[in-house]
Structures are given as C-alpha cells and as structure tokens.
C-alpha cells in the first residue's frame, strides 16, 4: 500500500473518530440540557403546588376549594401524597398511567426517564397498541415552613423532545458522513500534493545508473525535510560516483598494464614454436601456454569494455547490419566446437532482418550465448537457433537441452564475475563476464536479453533488438 493511501486512511480514520465523538458529545449534551430544562420546569410546578398548601385545612387550596383547577395539570403527570404516603391528588394523566415512581427521602430530588406502553388516546400523548410513551419525571419531598407535608411526583411526556433528538441525530449522521467523505477526499489530495516532491525524487533517483552517476537530484528548498533528504542523497551519489570511477580506473589501468606483457609473451612463445631446436614436448607446452594467454587476453578485453565510464555505445560502430548474415557466420565458426562433442546445431533458413548495430559486437553477443550452449550441453545434444520478427523487433532465440540453470541463480547470471558453479566454470574456462558483456551489448543496442531455464532440461535465451527503420527485410 502506498504511503499517500496510508496517510489518507489515517487522516480519514482520525477525523472520522473526532467527528463521531464531537457529534455524540453534541447529541448527549443537547439531550442533557433539554432534560435539565424540563426538570427545572417540573420543579417549578412542584413548588407552585407546595405554595398552595393551607396549614389550617392541612390540604392544598387548589385541590380543596377549586377542584376544577386540576384542568391546568392536564398536560402533566402529577401525583400528590400526604405524610401518610396516601395519594390526595392525581392528574387525569396519572389516573390512566402508572409510572411506578418510588418516593424519595427527605432531602432528595430524583429525576427519572420512564417508558410505558399506552393504548388509547389522550391529550398531549400519542398512543397506540404497541407504542411506548416516554416520560421525564421528578419526585421530591415538599415542605411548609420546613415541616414535611408530603411528596409530589411530577412528570411530562417527552415525545416531541425525542422526535427532535431523533431528527437531530439523523441530521448529524448525514453531516458526519458528508464531512468524512470531504475530509477523505481532501486528505488524499493534500497527501498526494505533499508527497509529490518525494515522487519526483524517486523518479530522478531511479533514472540514475552507472552510466550517468554525475546527475544529481534537484533541491527546491534546502531548509525543509525533503531538501535535507535530497542533499543527503546527492552526497551519497557523489561518493558512489567517486568510488565507481576509482574502480573503473583501477580495472582499466590493470588491464592496460597486463595487456602489453601478455602480448609480448604470446609473440615470444609463437616464435619459439617455429624454432626447430625446441623439442616437440616443449612445443606442446608452449601451445597450452598460448591458449592460456589467449583466454587472459580475452578476459582483459572484456575488462576494458566494462571499465568505460562513459556510455559503452560511444565506442561502437553503428550501422545497418543483417542479423541473418551474422548468425550464419556465428554458426559456421561455432560448428567446429559443436562437432567435437557430436552436437547438432539446428536452424531453419533465417529471414533477412536488418537492425542498426555494431556488427562485431553483435557477433560477440551471439557467439558468447552459443558458446555457452555448446559448453553446457552434453555430447550428442541439440542446440536450436531461430530468428523472427515481432512487433518491429528482431527476436533471436537460442535453445539447448543442456544442464540448465538453478532457479535461484537465474536473476544473477548477468552480474559481473558471477558463475553458477565455480568448479564447472573452471573446467570450461569461464570468467563470469561473458553474460555481463552480452547484456551490455544488448542494452547498448536498445535491446533486451532474457533467459528461461529448467534444471536438467535446458535453457533458452531470448535477445530482442529493435529493427532498423525503412528495412522490412
């Protein structure tokens, strides 16, 4: 998962949590405020009942002299008790609904929220066979001149408040969903915008290779964290460039220093071969030494090719070349080695395909691959070579039924000095540079080289090169 997606998800999650907590806080805070206001209203109602107490009759004037005044309590649930906990007044609502509210102690005022089922109809209540009605109720002791005179339980249906709270909850949920969506989109946009410099740094760093180590990452703002990261990467690239140049220079110097004495030694041994005074046994040793010197010279030439700090293609002589002609020359020269192992090189008539390339380097590329196939294919084995055109590309396929390459070694075979089996490479004279040179030549021609192999069954190399324009074969 990409960092910008992770950051956007974290931003979305945290913001959603904050909005949810904020919304629930508003919802329950509003509910608490409404209940508190309703409790104050009910408390005012109980206080008005308390003030109507007549000590002479030990009763309440509204209930004793003006029974019709009870109509003022139609919209409330009212129960008034005397000191003997006997009900001396019940509002019409309390007469039809029992909330079962316990009486508190002398100093307590307790608030309740009760739900009851109510069947039928009544002013200020929406009832039904299965509908629940919610009441907010307080119960408290009442006094006359600090003497207890009874209890009052006062309540009121809060259906309208509940409906309002439900509507508020719906609105808040919709608002939270919309806000969360906007935050998610905005968070992704801002994260992507913020990480764009990182993307540019990554793209630039990905383009830097051994052929252009002199390039550097652009620093837009040296004071911020990304600017500091770019500066550190540039310092690292500079150290890598210096180390790489020193390594290449050492390889070039060593190759040059070895090339001249080897050439003199080979010339001397070849002259000794023509000396009639040298015994035959000694001449056979000279031939073996000359073969060793030839392998060393070949290794040195490869090292010189790999030691160039500038693009290798600058040393190539590009021009229109026919791949079919090069492959026929390669097969002709390699057939001698194949015949020594009784191997068969199979190839059909090659189509005439022209590419823009260096003829000698392409010859080296194909010969190295075919030479490897011959070395690692058993006696009486078969090697197939095909040439075809695919989507403006020339595809050269070299297939053998040799020992194959282990799966874990396939990604490494194009690395310099890498050998699948060192003991096998020593027997065949391998240095570990052949396939690295092949890859270098293929890429210098804007092509690719790929390999497929199965241990014990054989190996296939695919070399793909762009066809030359205006040459259709």
Question: For residue 210, what pLDDT is reported?
Answer: 65
Same structural domain, 202 and 254 = no
Same structural domain, 139 and 249 = no
Same structural domain, 424 and 413 = yes
Statement: residue 398 has pLDDT above 90:
yes
Question: For residue 65, what pLDDT is reported?
Answer: 57
CATH number at residue 338: 3.30.565.10
Question: For residue 9, what pLDDT is reported?
Answer: 82
**What whole-number percentage of the chain has pLDDT above 90?**
19
Statement: residue 396 has pLDDT above 90:
yes
Q: Note the pTM of the prediction, 2 decimals.
A: 0.49
Tell me the residue length of the chain: 473
Same structural domain, 321 and 295 = no
Residue 472 placed within a domain = no
The number of folded domains in the chain is 4
Statement: residue 162 has pLDDT above 70:
yes
The better pLDDT of the pair 41, 206 is held by: 41
Same structural domain, 416 and 330 = yes
Residue 60 placed within a domain = no
Residue 214 placed within a domain = no
According to DSSP, the β-strands at 147-157 and 77-81 are: antiparallel
Residue 219 placed within a domain = no
Same structural domain, 348 and 441 = yes
Average pLDDT over residues 145-159: 89
Residue 176 placed within a domain = yes
**What whole-number percentage of the chain has pLDDT above 70?**
86
Of 306, 324, 341, which marks where a domain is finished? 306
Split at pLDDT 50, 70, 90, the class of 423 is very low
Statement: residue 272 has pLDDT above 50:
yes
CATH number at residue 126: 3.30.450
Same structural domain, 331 and 229 = no
Burial class (CB in 10 A: 0-12, 13-18, 19+), 303: buried
Residue 434 placed within a domain = yes
Question: Out of 94-103, 104-113, 141-150, 396-405, which region has the weakest mean confidence (pLDDT)?
Answer: 104-113
Same structural domain, 126 and 233 = no
Same structural domain, 375 and 444 = yes
Split at pLDDT 50, 70, 90, the class of 473 is very low
Same structural domain, 320 and 410 = yes
Residue-wise pLDDT for 167-217, tens only, equals: 888 998 898 888 888 888 888 888 888 777 777 888 888 777 766 777 888
Question: For residue 176, what pLDDT is reported?
Answer: 87
Same structural domain, 184 and 263 = no
CATH number at residue 264: 1.10.287.130
> If DSSP states are collapsed to H, E and C, what string results for the chain?
CCHHHHHHHHHHHHHHHHHHHHHHHHHHHHHHHHHHHHHHHHHHHHHHHHHCEECCCCEEHHHHCCHHHHHHHCCCEEEEECCCCCEEEECHHHHHCCCCCCCCCCCCEEEEEEEEECCCCECCECCCCCCEEEEEEEEEEEEECCEEEEEEEEEEECHHHHHHHHHHHHHHHHHHHHHHHHHHHHHHHHHHHHHHHHHHHHHHHHHCCCCCCCCCCCCCCCCCHHHHHHHHHHHHHHHHHHHHHHHHHHHHHHHHHHHHHHHHHHHHHHHHHCCCCCCHHHHHHHHHHHHHHHHHHHHHHHHHHHCCCCCHHHHCCCEEEEHHHHHHHHHHHHHHHHHHCCCEEEECCCCCCEEEECHHHHHHHHHHHHHHHHHCCCCCCEEEEEEEEECCEEEEEEEECCCCCCHHHHHHCCCCCCCCCHHHHHHHCCCCCHHHHHHHHHHHCCCEEEEEEECCCEEEEEEEEEECCCCCC
CA atoms within 13 A on the CB side of 51: 6
Residue 360 placed within a domain = yes
Residue-wise pLDDT for 44-97, tens only, equals: 988 888 888 888 777 777 766 555 555 677 888 999 998 888 988 888 888 888
Residue 66 placed within a domain = no
Split at pLDDT 50, 70, 90, the class of 128 is very low
Residue-wise pLDDT for 108-119, tens only, equals: 677 888 888 876
Average pLDDT over residues 369-392: 91
Of 306, 336, 364, which marks where a domain is finished? 306
Residue 109, domain extent: 73-157
Same structural domain, 397 and 456 = yes
Residue-wise pLDDT for 223-247, tens only, equals: 777 788 888 888 888 888 788 777 7
Of 179, 207, 235, which marks where a domain is finished? 207
């Amino acid at each position: 998962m990409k960092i910008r997606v992770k950051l956007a998800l974290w931003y979305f999650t945290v913001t959603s949590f904050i909005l949810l907590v904020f919304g629930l806080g508003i919802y329950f805070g509003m509910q608490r405020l409404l209940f508190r206001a309703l409790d104050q209203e009910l408390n005012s109602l109980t206080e008005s009942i308390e003030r109507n107490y007549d000590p002479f009759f030990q009763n309440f004037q509204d209930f004793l002299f003006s029974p019709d005044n009870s109509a003022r309590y139609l919209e409330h649930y009212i129960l008034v008790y005397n000191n003997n906990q006997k009900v001396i007044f019940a509002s019409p609502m309390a007469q039809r609904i029992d909330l079962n509210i316990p009486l508190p102690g002398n100093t307590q005022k307790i608030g309740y929220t009760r739900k009851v089922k109510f069947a039928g109809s009544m002013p200020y209540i929406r009832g039904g066979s299965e509908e629940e009605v919610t009441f907010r109720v307080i119960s408290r002791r009442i006094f006359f001149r600090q003497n207890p005179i009874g209890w009052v339980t006062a309540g009121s249906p809060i259906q309208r408040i509940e409906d309002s709270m439900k509507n508020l909850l719906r609105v808040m949920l919709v608002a939270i969903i919309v806000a969360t969506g906007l935050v998610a989109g905005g968070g992704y946009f801002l994260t992507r915008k913020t990480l764009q410099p990182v993307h540019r740094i990554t793209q630039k760093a990905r383009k830097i290779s051994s052929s252009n180590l002199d390039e550097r990452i652009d620093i837009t703002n040296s004071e911020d964290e990304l600017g500091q990261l770019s500066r550190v990467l540039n310092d690292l690239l500079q150290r890598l460039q210096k180390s790489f140049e020193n390594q290449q220079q050492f390889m070039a110097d060593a190759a040059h220093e070895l090339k001249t004495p080897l050439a003199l030694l080979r010339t001397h041994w070849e002259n000794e071969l023509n000396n009639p005074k040298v015994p035959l046994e000694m001449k056979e040793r000279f031939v073996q030494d000359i073969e060793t010197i030839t392998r060393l010279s070949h290794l040195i030439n490869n090292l010189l090719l790999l030691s160039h700090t500038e693009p290798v293609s600058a040393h190539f002589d590009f021009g229109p070349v026919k791949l079919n002609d090069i492959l026929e020359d390669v097969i002709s020269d390699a057939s001698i080695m194949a015949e020594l192992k009784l191997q068969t090189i199979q190839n059909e008539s090659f189509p005439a395909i022209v590419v823009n390339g260096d003829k000698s380097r392409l010859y080296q590329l194909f010969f190295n691959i075919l030479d490897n196939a011959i070395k690692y294919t058993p006696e009486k084995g078969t090697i197939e070579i095909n040439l075809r055109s695919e989507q403006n590309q020339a595809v050269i396929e070299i297939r053998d039924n040799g020992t194959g390459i282990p799966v874990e070694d396939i990604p490494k075979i194009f690395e310099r000095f890498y050998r699948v089996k060192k003991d096998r490479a020593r027997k065949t004279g391998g240095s570990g540079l052949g396939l690295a040179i092949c890859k270098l030549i293929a890429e210098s021609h804007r092509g690719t080289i790929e390999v497929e192999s199965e241990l014990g069954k054989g190996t296939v190399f695919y070399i793909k090169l762009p066809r030359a324009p205006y040459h259709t074969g």
